[in-house]
């Protein structure tokens, strides 16, 4: 992070808001745990944050939800867990990556180079793309989307209906928009293979040989 540089303030403020949005997702997850176990919210928070490994935390939720609602809810929570896994990776990048300046230089020497503050991985050449303000907007949209799906689980675990509503029998429709990895590069065009020659039968080979012999004989005799 660059010290005492006011130009990076918009980026850092947006990072702070994005991390706050993710905290709201964690709040909703703790509420689900509170309802499933029937405990105080502070106890639910203590259990939630005691499990630091995200994958282990999602497996715990899947086990608890299936104990309550059987295997019918598996597709719904599995899709939530996959979404949350990717969301958590992006959140960790916001907390640990560094603010850096990206320069955009035009081919026109008369134009002034433009600069932009972005978050970049601490290790150069790591293969991760940098994070800018537009990426942070996508991350916020992701947080809002998954909170809606998780809030539905909050009400489900609180009301505990006898029959599982249809919405929970299928995966969630949202997909992560904020992504750390660069888009895949298009494959280079492959050289075209020359057309293969048709295979001749034995009779066709003999006819071809006789024709070639006649042409050689004619060429030898001359006009």
Q: How confident is the model at residue 187 (pLDDT cuts 50, 70, 90)?
A: low
* DSSP string over 89-101: HHHHHHHH-EEEE
Distance CA 124, CA 143 (A): 28
Distance CA 94, CA 120 (A): 9
Comparing 75-79, 102-106, 198-202, the range with the smallest average pLDDT is: 102-106
Q: Is the pLDDT of residue 112 over 90?
A: no
Q: What is the mean pLDDT of the chain?
A: 87
Distance CA 133, CA 138 (A): 9
Question: pLDDT tens digits for 9-44?
Answer: 899 999 999 999 999 999 999 999 999 999 999 999
Question: pLDDT tens digits for 51-77?
Answer: 989 899 999 999 999 999 999 999 999
Does pTM top 0.85 for this prediction? no
- At 113 the pLDDT is 65
Rg (CA), the chain: 31
| Sequence spans of domains, the chain | 7-169
Distance CA 28, CA 77 (A): 14
């Amino acid at each position: 992070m660059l010290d005492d540089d006011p130009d990076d303030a918009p980026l850092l403020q947006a990072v702070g808001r994005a991390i706050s949005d993710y905290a709201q997702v964690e709040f909703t997850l703790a509420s689900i745990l509170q309802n499933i176990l029937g405990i105080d919210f502070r106890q639910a928070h203590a259990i939630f944050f005691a499990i630091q490994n995200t994958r282990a935390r999602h497996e715990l939720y899947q086990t608890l939800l299936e104990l309550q609602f059987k295997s019918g809810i598996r597709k719904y929570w599995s899709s939530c867990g996959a979404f949350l896994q990717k969301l958590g990776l992006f959140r960790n990048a916001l907390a640990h990556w560094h603010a850096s300046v990206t320069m955009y230089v035009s081919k026109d020497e008369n134009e002034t180079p433009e600069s932009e503050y972005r978050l970049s991985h601490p290790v150069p050449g790591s293969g991760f793309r940098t994070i800018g303000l537009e990426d942070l907007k996508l991350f916020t949209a992701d947080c809002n989307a998954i909170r809606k799906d998780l809030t539905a689980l909050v009400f489900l675990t609180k009301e505990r209906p006898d029959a599982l509503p249809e919405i929970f029998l299928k995966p969630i429709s949202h997909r992560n928009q904020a992504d750390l990895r660069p888009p895949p590069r298009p494959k280079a065009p492959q050289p075209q293979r020359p057309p293969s020659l048709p295979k001749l039968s034995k009779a066709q080979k003999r006819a071809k040989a006789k024709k070639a012999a006649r042409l050689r004989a004619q060429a030898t005799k001359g006009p």
